[in-house]
Structure 1
Amino acid sequence: MNPYRLALALPLAFLAAPALAQQLSPEEAAAVDRLVTMTLADTGVPSASVAIVRGGETVFTKAYGKQSERAGAADAKAIYPIASISKQFVAAVLQQLENEGKLSLDDRVAKYVPDVSGADRITIRQLLAHTSGLQDYWPQDYSFAAMSTATKPQGIIDRWGKKPLDFEPGAQWQYSNTGYVVAGQIASKVTGKPIVQLMQERLLKPLGIRAVDQDDAVGPGHPQGYQRFALGPVRLEPPAARGWLYAAGDLAMSAGDLAKWNIARLNRAAPLTPDDWAEQETPVKLTNGESSGYGLGVVAGNRDGRRTIEHSGGAVGFLLQNMVFPDQKAAVTVLTNGSFSDTSTRIATGLARVVLPPTNAEDAAVLTAARTLFDQLRRGQPDAGRLTENARFYFTPAALADYRQSLSALGEPTSFTQAGRASLRGGFVQRRFRVTYPNRTLAISTFAEPGSNGRWEQFMVSPTQ
């Protein structure tokens, strides 16, 4: 399984939306379409399937692009491997077993799987939190040689789970798919059932989620994975042989079905208890008292000042992203069939900008005003009444001509967002904005008079990474 990538918060598409809005407006839906289609065109990833939750309800599902060499129109119900996003389901099963008195998350692994290195010192909780010290069996971002031959959980444990620990349990955080293979084995030994069956019976069927073992999500009717070598052509990527993802990334489902799980999380609903959801989302502390940033199968993070519970995933030929915003009752899911580029994260972050209102009402108003001025400068006709004397001095006829010619040539941007927080300087409010196009990004440095209707003292556009 790909090591979990703590994805960068790349500010992307934004449309101001009411906090309590439900269904996407036509303008918002159009923004989603532009974001996804332009990102796929930019990166070469063949397809994406997305789901949006707002107000605790699924308000949008849609698939784009080519899901396989055999498929016709993209199908939002198509099942993609969700890879490491599956880990939170494995953790949930073990939490349920603890509630039933069948085990404790603080039990030592030796009680169930004694032949693992450090089994007498590693707890189940440390397996789920990636603090066990067990060496990861799949750190690569590609399918390595052994993955062309089928394996079983014990085969993974024998080869990687018996190596010396990378560190003393609890001392560090290091992503370990091996730890989840051991966790899946523990659940099976306690119940006598395979981990996929346990997830189906205990979690998926109660929520009406249609899911399969990712090893079975191959062949006609299923999306195919694709790869790319450097900047070469996009090519089909053969799936791994059976058994390699096991409890580290066992499930395959549609974006809409994963949204059902996100809604259960937002509502603190069955099949987990409110305490179980909270426990999953609480970062585990290391032995030195520092937070790991990771709970039980999920990352507890923050994007643009909003609390997030999220996880990415990578299967052979697929990259996925799932973000939940508990305080806003919102979530976004993006499943893609390309094992290259930042497409899934780029789209997910952009969708969040469509779904979520700004964290600050004044920032929202100024963002709209900044976009208005930007569009005016693309036409070479800024509203002089919104500029201070110094700004009017700066925007000479030559400056306006350069702004118009250079910006209009870029076409319509795919996003316009505030980057970072506002701050005070020289009696003005300083803000920075980011404008993205399929092939480039612009930075805007601004100073404005205080208040949502303050005049612009500075509005300087420059290229950036």
Structure 2
Amino acid sequence: MHKALLTVAALALMPATAAFSAPQPLDTGAIDRVVADALKTTQVPSASVAVVQGGRIVFAKAYGEQGPGKPAVADARYPIASISKQITATAILMLADEGKLSLDDAVGKYVPGLTSGDHVTIRQILSHTSGYRDFWPQDFSFADMAHPVKPDAILARWGKAPLDFPPGSQWQYSNTGFVIAGRIIETVSGQPLMQFLSQRIFTPLGMTSAVDADFGMTTADAAPHERYALGPVRVATPAAPGWLFGAGQLAMTASDLARWDIGMMDHKLLSQAGYAAQQTSVKLSSGEDSHYGLGIDVLQWGSHRILEHGGEAVGFLSDNVIAPDDGVAVVVLDNADFGDAQSVIAKKVMALVLPDAKPDAQAAGGLARATSVFDMLRAGRLDRTLFTTNGNFYFTPTAIADYKASLAPLGAPQSIVQTGNGLRGGFTAEQYRVTYPHRTLRIVLRAEPGAGGRIEQFTVYPAG
């Protein structure tokens, strides 16, 4: 899963041989305070943080508990979820550099039977402009995810469904597109995806901890956690194997993700043209800027070019923010799929490293439905006719009880304001900020478009 932040940038890449300016002294005590405050506010159990300055890792530290009674350690793995997309995209670009495929090839050339497979291009699946509907727009594990799946089964269900829009005409985040990308890598290279990534990317960059999150994690690594509203924090049950594949299957340490970032800064894997293709925002057919390259957000924070992506798996959140021209990156991995600790920590630590790098705010919209459902949940009620099958699946008796027990004592909020709106997997993608005198919450709402559209997701999280 992914959270797009902010506004865009478009821009020339620095040459691979550029020397970075001398880094500012790093205030490690300030980082400790930022992380401690975010974990306390959100009750996220742990976070692992790495900082790159001057093109090298200068800080790596873990905080909190990575499992019940287990202090967090910096060499523990966390799933990076959708941050994996930039790695999948790079694998495609490596094959393009070798002349084995073109970004403008139709996806049907390599994966037959897909809807509009003769018209959708590889560039469009990597930039979320293909029209393929996202198979996992929810921020929770839906019922089918309790069962193992193969990539081709995902594509048979979602890759052969009608497109949500004509290819190239809109931007809509789609995990489905990156499952297609993973299958293209396997078809063209003749290798399983993880074997290709290990041999061609992880080994050259020294990323010794990188594994398939479904099979490679152990009890020495971080454990997933979940929460209903402000209820008890519980160890979560991961989705069954196979659901993430090329869209988000990787796990690693924060330091190894930082090594990936350094590889991007130093242009270690791709040609100059390959990195330019990945890091240039794709334009829609209308000429509108998508603010997204190939597997990564392309942003501008003040005068700084920023490459950013977040990730979400069951029980985990992550954020990776890179200022490639400055030789700076901040990696934050945490072991909870609630709250916003990962993005709060990433932004605040980046502000310590690059004080003039300021992300822009999102635009606001309407909020009547969100307010109504929030009030229902505070009272421990739920009008199930308002929800889809998956929405009702999420609201178990335990979930409803936790929502009431944790929200009712807060009373009526001072305000509820919409902070984001978009489209995801055929559903709206709405975010709201709920303000109380001494705390702030965040609502994520996804619903069928149009008047009377049923709600696919309504989740409440503590906000940092």
1:138 corresponds to = 136
Aligned match of 1:34 = 33
Give runs of aligned pairs for residues 420-459 of structure 1, distance below 5 A.
439=438
Provide the rounded CA distance (Å) in 1 between the counterparts of 2:286 and 2:356: 36
Q: Show the counterpart of 2:58.
A: 59
TM-score of the two chains, using structure 1 as the length reference: 0.72
How do residues 101-120 of structure 1 correspond to structure 2 at under 5 angstroms? 101-120=99-118
Contact (CA 8 Å) 2:301, 2:357: kept in 1 or not? no
CA contact (8 A) 1:50 1:335 kept: yes
Alignment of 1:16-95 (within 5 A): 20-21=22-23, 24=26, 28-69=27-68, 71=70, 73-95=71-93
Q: Pick closer, same or farther for the CA change 1:439–1:253 going to 2, 3 Å.
A: farther
Superposed counterparts of 1:281-360, under 5 Å: 281-358=279-356
TM-score, normalised by the number of residues in structure 2: 0.73
Shift of 1:439: 5.0
Q: How many residues align?
A: 350
Task: Say whether the 8 Å CA contact 1:214–1:251 is kept in structure 2.
Answer: yes
CA deviations on 1:69-123 (whole Å, 9 max, x unpaired) are 263x311011110000001111111111111121111111111112111101100
* Alignment-mate amino acid for residue 20 of structure 1: A
Cα distance, 1:228–1:267 mapped onto 2, change above 3 Å: same
* Distance in 2 (alpha carbons) for counterparts of 1:216 and 1:256: 20
- Following the alignment from structure 1 to structure 2, what is the Cα–Cα distance between the partners of residues 253 and 87? 14
Q: What's the secondary structure of 1:216's corresponding residue?
A: coil
- Match for residue 243 of structure 1? 242
Q: Displacement, 1:273?
A: 2.2
> In structure 2, do the counterparts of structure 1 residues 359 and 121 end up closer, same or farther at CA, with 3 Å as the change threshold?
closer
Matches of 1:359 and 1:123 in 2, distance apart? 34
CA distance in 1, matches of 2:439, 2:134: 36
Letter in 2 for 1:31: A
Separation in 1, partners of 2:217, 2:357 = 42
Give RMSD over aligned pairs.
2.0
Identity fraction in percent: 50
Larger radius of gyration: 1
- Contact kept, 8 Å, 1:70 with 1:220, in 2: the verdict is no
- Contact 1:105–1:123 (CA under 8 A) maintained in structure 2: yes
Please state how far the C-alpha of 1:57 moved relative to its aligned partner.
Answer: 1.2
3-state DSSP of counterpart to 2:214: helix
Q: Could you tell me which amino acid in structure 2 is paired with residue 252 of structure 1?
A: A
C-alpha contact 1:239 1:317 (8 A) present in aligned 2: yes
Query: How far 1:303 moved relative to its partner?
Result: 2.3
Residue 128 (str. 1) matches residue 121 (str. 2)? no
Aligned-pair CA distance for 1:55 = 1.2
User: What do residues 153-189 of structure 1 show as CA deviations (whole Å, max 9, x unaligned)?
Assistant: 0110011111100001101100000011011111101
Give the C-alpha shift of residue 218 in structure 1.
3.7
Indicate the residue corresponding to 1:184 in structure 2: 182
Q: Tell me, which stretches of 5 or more residues in structure 2 are unaligned?
A: 8-19, 359-436, 441-463
Q: Could you tell me which residue of structure 2 aligns to residue 265 of structure 1?
A: 264
Shift of 1:332: 0.3
Measured in 1, the distance between the counterparts of 2:251 and 2:193 equals: 14
C-alpha separation between the residues in 1 aligned to 2:158 and 2:68?
36
Q: Structure 2: how far apart are the matches of 1:338 and 1:359?
A: 27
Structure 2 Cα separation of the partners of residues 300 and 109 of structure 1: 24
Q: CA deviation at 1:313?
A: 0.4
Moved over 6 A (4+): none
Describe the shift of the 1:138–1:158 C-alpha distance in structure 2 as closer, same or farther (beyond 3 A).
same
Q: Which residue is 2:392 aligned to?
A: none
Contact 1:19-1:357 at 8 Å conserved across structures = no
SS, match of residue 331 in structure 1: strand
Aligned to 1:195: 193
